[in-house]
């Protein structure tokens, strides 16, 4: 073979080898870059898919005001999965802590009356006899009074007809259709005790005079009214 042709063949073969090496290096480098991008993408996906790294909030946050009813068992339904026996104890403890309703204020004046059942009015002489029986005394205001140990007035009894006074003489000719009792709780040291005496005196006089006891509304006096006033004192 001619030396010139051999030299050309050797040079061409070398160029093919070099080009092949360059192509191989390029392909290898490209594959390496693709592999790197693959792992980078995989890492990014793993980070975004990790629930611990998820920054999005998929839950609705209830406002604080909505927590006011948390733990309250309105009917103590046993089907409630949060119900347990301890809730019963807490419930009744809360019930015990509830303050009772405020007591009703005592009336400024407690006024009851006794009226006659018959067509004829009460006679003055019969009234005085009944008053003396229960220990009432005739006072300077011309009415009968209950006096305490210090000679202070606990309650009084007047005629139901104006001016409300009883005469100090000629009682046999005096008549009235009824008598009215009154006491002022605020002026007394022991209003409940005086009220008990007040009610007992009225009952005794009603029985003695055969009369009907009326409350402050001119309705028959009931035990419920008596108890309500007693509790207010």
**CATH number of the domain that 183 lies in?**
3.30.1400.10
Whether residues 218 and 149 share a domain: the answer is yes
The Cβ-side half-sphere exposure at 113, using a 13 Å CA radius, reads: 19
Q: Are residues 228 and 114 in the same domain?
A: yes
More confident residue, 67 or 145: 145
> What does DSSP assign to residue 78?
T
- Residue at which a domain ends, from 30, 50, 70: 50
One-character DSSP codes across 117-150: SSSSPEEHHHHHHHHHHTT-EE-TTSSEEEE-TT
- Is residue 11 over pLDDT 50? yes
Q: What distance in Å separates the CA atoms of residue 225 and residue 233, rounded to the nearest whole number? A: 13
- What percent of the chain clears pLDDT 70, i.e. is strictly above it? 56
Are 155 and 227 in a shared domain? yes
**Residue 182 within any structural domain of the chain:** yes
Do 153 and 42 belong together in one domain? no
Residue 7 to residues 4, 10, 18, 21, 140: CA-CA distances in angstroms? Answer: 5, 5, 16, 21, 162
Domain that holds residue 41: 1-50
Q: Is residue 131 part of a domain?
A: yes
CA distance 133 to 50: 99
Task: Note whether residue 103 is domain-resident.
Answer: no
pLDDT (tens digit per residue) in 138-195 = 999 999 999 999 999 999 999 999 999 999 999 999 999 999 999 999 999 999 999 9
Q: Would 207 be classed as within a structural domain? A: yes
16-42 tens-digit pLDDT: 655 666 666 666 565 555 555 544 554
Decide if 84 is inside a domain.
Answer: no
pLDDT, mean of residues 38-49 = 48
Question: Does the pTM of the predicted model rise above 0.85?
Answer: no
Q: Which residue has the tokens 């046993």?
A: 78
Mean pLDDT of all residues in the chain?
75
69 — pLDDT class (breaks 50, 70, 90): very low
How many domains are contained in the chain? 2
The answer as to whether 176 is a domain residue is yes
């Amino acid at each position: 073979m001619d030396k010139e042709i051999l030299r050309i063949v050797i040079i061409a073969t070398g160029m093919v080898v070099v080009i092949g090496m360059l192509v191989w290096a390029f392909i290898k480098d490209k594959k390496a870059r693709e592999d790197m991008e693959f792992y980078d993408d995989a890492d990014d996906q793993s980070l975004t898919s990790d629930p611990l790294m998820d920054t999005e909030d998929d839950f609705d946050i209830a406002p604080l005001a909505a927590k006011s009813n948390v733990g309250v068992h309105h009917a103590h339904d046993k089907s409630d999965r949060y119900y347990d026996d301890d809730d019963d104890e807490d419930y009744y403890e809360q019930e015990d802590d509830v303050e009772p309703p405020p007591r009703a204020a005592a009336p400024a004046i407690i006024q009851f009356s006794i009226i006659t059942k018959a067509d004829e009015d009460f006679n003055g002489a019969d009234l005085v006899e009944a008053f003396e029986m229960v220990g009432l005394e005739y006072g300077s205001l011309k009415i009968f009074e209950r006096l305490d140990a210090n000679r202070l007035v606990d309650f009084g009894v007047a005629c139901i007809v104006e001016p409300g006074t009883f005469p100090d003489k000629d009682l046999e000719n005096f008549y009235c259709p009824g008598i009215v009792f009154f006491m002022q709780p605020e002026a007394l040291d022991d209003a409940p005790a005086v009220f008990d005496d007040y009610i007992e005196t009225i009952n005794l006089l009603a029985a003695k005079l055969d009369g009907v006891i009326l409350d402050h509304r001119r309705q028959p006096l009931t035990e419920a009214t008596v108890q309500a006033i007693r509790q207010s004192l």
